[in-house]
Amino acid sequence: MSKVTYFSGETFPLEMHKVRIIQKLSLLPIEERLKAMESAGYNTFLLQNRDVFLDMLTDSGVNAMSDRQQAAMLLADDAYAGSATFTRLHDKLKDVFGMPYFLPAHQGRACEHILAKAYIRPGSVAAMNYHFTTAKAHITELGGEVVELVIPEGLKVTSQFPFKGNLDLAAFEALVAERGVENIAFLRMEAGTNLIGGQPFSLANLRAVRAACDRLRVRLVLDASLLADNLYFIKAREPECADLSIAEIARAMADCSDIIYFSARKLGFGRGGGICVRDERIYRQLRGFVPMYEGFLTYGGMSVREMEAIAVGLDETLDEDMINQGPLFINHMVRELEANGVPVVTPPGGLGAHLDAMRFLDHVPQTQYPSGALAASVYLASGVRGMERGTLSEQRDPDGSEPLSHMELLRLALPRRVFTLSQVNYTIDRVRWLYANRRIVGGLRWVEEPEVLRFFYGRLEPIDGWQHNLVAQFRSDFGSSL
Ligand SMILES: *Cc1c(COP(=O)(O)O)cnc(C)c1O
């Protein structure tokens, strides 16, 4: 992707790939979207994909593959053990990260399961810049505790700070002193910190974290699922790294880590995952869990076709012309929304644009789920499906009370290489319309609230029937237009 300056003087992202296989989409009229939203219980997870125009729920497993990846999939070598495909993927990972050992797993959370099994006991502490849902679930399931040490700037919705995913080193040292190093299972650094808006950490911060880990004798685990965006941001935002290649930055990050794991549903445009390890002793600690939970050591639950696609996809991740596609589209979306007064998380991160529902719907109390209401109303206004990241995504406490999330976000994910700029511009337009009409949108209340993972399956309804007023306003503003 290049950023080109137009004759008008404006700068726009320009795709450095062309589309060679397409999938037809449909954009339903708003009345049909309303029916689809009602049958989905005002929960975007329950929408049928055929009713969705642009699916911005997630980047997981929905990034577009290249011609080279598809070609490589035909060469896949099927074998239970000793497959040449595994060797090709392993060689590619050695090449990228410089770590000799690789344990394949079926996706990112499977790696988290293995690491938790190996290192978490009741009373263990896993320190991290910020948690990810599945990482935390595996740790707490085994009686461990997650302590988040992101710098305070990381939790500010709007900021100019380029590396909101940085770890607070003083807080880390204090934690180790307080709990004792023997209770610290590991320090986990998440690249492209997912739940706070796809925000990166800097290479300088990671190097300082490494030095602290050496001094304190703590294991450093890198969650590289969202590595691609973090690599790009280091190159673009960290002046000392401007002259390094993306491959050199990847190696420098790996050199700071003892263990790297990733979801290949995000990294490498494929589906799968795995753990890279430098030290043979650590490799032996983890190895036994792979045949037990995942599959034999040369596939770990992945198909050989997916492994071929990941090996090629890793090359494409390091491609200087390709790596910035997601971040530049997201930057365009965030800056356009911001320029039009729509509240968004800044600076733009990776993964997607994040709307700040707390300000967008500042008349809707948190107990009426502003991010959920925003997700539902963006779908009504546009056919675009986003993901609620706020109070709905929290669990109730054992006494039934409801913790309020400290951010109320709607994530509009931009899977890599999938959407065109005109589709992004359409989304911006409809979000702007919704913002102009935000007072029409009200809150949601439960119709059916599951006890676990309520945001996946729960059903809700609008309070006071605001959805009908929104449809009427849309018709009056857009006539018969979709
Ligand atoms: C998605 C994700 C995971 C989990 O990966 P899955 O393949 O979905 O199991 C772990 N960490 C981060 C940062 C992620 O974004």
DSSP secondary structure, 355-409, as one string:
EEHHHHTTTS-GGG-HHHHHHHHHHHHHSEE-EEESGGGSPPPTTS--PPPS--E
Question: Which two structure tokens, joined as six digits, stand for 11?
Answer: 């700068």
- Statement: 67-319 belongs to CATH 3.20.190.10: no
For residue 405, give both structure tokens: 């999330």
pLDDT digits (tens, 9 = 90+) for 353-371: 999 999 999 999 999 999 9
Q: CB of 230 within 8 A of CB of 207?
A: no
pLDDT score recorded for residue 11: 83
pTM over cut 0.85 = yes
Ligand 1 center to 225 CA (angstroms): 6
pLDDT at 220: 98
Helix (H) or strand (E) holding 26: none
- Same fold across 3-59+323-478 and 67-319: no
Residues lower than pLDDT 50 in the chain:
none
Query: Which residue among 59, 60, 261 has the greatest number of ligand 1 atoms within 8 angstroms of its CB, and so is best to mutate?
Result: 60
CA 109 to ligand 1 center in whole angstroms: 6
Top mutation candidate among 57, 132, 201 for ligand 1, by most atoms within 8 Å of CB: 132
Cβ–ligand 1 distance for 226 under 6 Å, the answer yes
> Which residue in 468, 418, 446, 449 sits closest to 57, CA to CA?
418
Distance from Cα 260 to the centre of ligand 1, integer Å: 13
Q: Ligand 1 center to residue 10 CA distance, Å?
A: 36
Query: Where does 3-59+323-478 sit in CATH, by number?
Result: 3.90.1150.10
Residue nearest to atom 6 of ligand 1 (CA): 108
Size (the chain), residues: 482
In short, whether 271's Cβ falls inside 6 Å of ligand 1 is: no
Structural tokens at position 216:
């304190």
Q: What is the pLDDT of residue 2?
A: 65
Q: Do residues 234 and 198 touch, judged by C-beta distance below 8 A? A: no
Instruction: Looking at the CA of residue 273, tell me the nearest atom of ligand 1.
Output: 7
Cβ–ligand 1 distance for 377 under 6 Å, the answer no
Between CA 64 and CA 481 the distance in angstroms is 30
Sequence ranges of the domains in the chain? 3-59+323-478, 67-319
Of 381, 375, 394, 389, which Cα lies nearest the Cα of 444? Answer: 375
